[in-house]
A and B are shown apart, each in its own frame.
Chain A
Amino acid sequence: MSEVSTAREIGAAEIAALLERIQAGDREAFMAVIRLYQQKVFVMAYSILRDREDALDTVQETFLRLYQKAGLYKPGSSFQGWLLQMAKNISIDHYRKHRKKRQEWETTTPLDDIPVAAEPARDGDSAATDLRHAFARSVDTLAERQKMVFVMRHYNELQFNEISEAMKISVGTAKSLHFKAVQNLRKRLAPVLGIEP
């Protein structure tokens, strides 16, 4: 996702120096780290929460936590992976906290307003809309680890080694979870895709 990638790649030594300055209360260093990673954190949060405002809340929360815990980062490991893991955990917490609200919304929304699938065909593009909704729902219902790997691989465009660091799993496990995610999506979407499950 080049559009939301950081302005430039940053070396491990440079990030370690920035984190040290953050611990000393350097506002400029903190802002520099935010500028570098804010969009990646947003993508991660949005992929889980599917809501712009919630994702922005999560971005703020993630960096506030980074400000408090900058000293916990272990030099030598991937900073991006560490930060995204933090963002992932905060997003999941946020999702769980607000699930009740979402459920209330779901039970009081009139039937015809439920975004179940395509509206009755109006513009001849209903099949595509159908698939879009079905796809989003299917990704949401993947097992948590499969979903995270899929999101990091495709929306955050991380390499498997970065995913493995962020999720604290081996590269092999990351690949296997990705494979299972794709298989499950394919299976769940088989009726919409018009193939055998």
Chain B
Amino acid sequence: MDDSFEKDPERRAESGAIERLLKETDAVRAEILRSAASVDWDALPGLIADRATAANARDARPAPAPRPMGWLAAFRMKPALAGLAAGLVVGAAAMYLALKAPGVRNGGNDAYFASGEFLDRAELEMARRNTVDYLEKSQYMLLDFFESADEGPVGPAALRSERTRDLLQKKKYLNAQLDRFQMAKAKAICDQIETLFFELSQIDGELAAAELGRIRGYVEERQLLLKINLVKKELQSGV
């Protein structure tokens, strides 16, 4: 049994993987312990007990004497009810003013109205989607590029392909959106990708091995593919 286990590389790899998982669990536990070690556990109970006593004393204070117009207290004590009542009053007043305003009943302006805030949110959503699309296409482009570089020399046609031009073009359009919505992190990664694509499009002739190594180094050093994934996920989750 042990012998077959030793010989089966899949099971060996599996067992190694679980072992490393457990090691990581221990590492996290060690991190928690390190953090716990810096806490003054002797002082904490006293501190908490003081807070509990203070909170108790606050709760034990006598209730204020009833005031005249006591029925209003019900609204004071129930914020939801009071909010609803206030909403009704404000809403009715707003409706009255709106209907009284000249020109409203003439139906002269039938254009669809959307608030500025709504439009801003819609534009932000568009910016997010465009950025995700750009990151996705760039990611595929980079993966394809490295794949074809592994298979053989990369010619100028591949370097200055339509895809590269499209992505450079798209980035120009994206810049304004990234700036407007202060998507600093996405902008940083998009800028790095743009630099890379720009350099690729400037290379004359076949891509030399040294040049390819430099580009690979650039991507790996900046963990470009990993960061593309992370930023993409963050944007997709609407963070």
Contacts and interface: CB of A to CB of B under 8 A. Distances in A.
A63 B46 CA distance: 12
A10 interface: no
A190 B230 contact: no
B52 A107 contact: no
A3 B26 CA distance: 13
Nearest to A155: B29
Interface stretch (A30-38, A80-88, A89-97, A167-175): A30-38
A27 B49 contact: yes
B21 A135 contact: yes
A131 B24 CA distance: 8
A68 to B, nearest CB: 8
Nearest to A154: B25
B41 A39 contact: yes
Contacts, number: 131
B230 A114 contact: yes
Contact of A155 (B32, B44, B183): B32
Contacts of B14: 195
Contacts of A155: 25, 28-29, 32
Nearest to A66: B52
B239 A106 contact: yes
A20 B195 CA distance: 69
B49 A135 contact: no
A136 B28 contact: yes
B226 A31 contact: no
13 contacts: A34-B44, A34-B48, A38-B45, A47-B32, A59-B48, A60-B51, A63-B48, A107-B183, A110-B184, A111-B189, A132-B24, A185-B21, A193-B17
Interface of A: 1, 3-4, 25, 27, 30-31, 34-35, 38-39, 42-43, 46-47, 52, 55-56, 59-60, 63-64, 67-68, 103, 106-112, 114, 116-117, 120, 131-132, 135-136, 139, 154-155, 182, 185-186, 189-190, 193-196
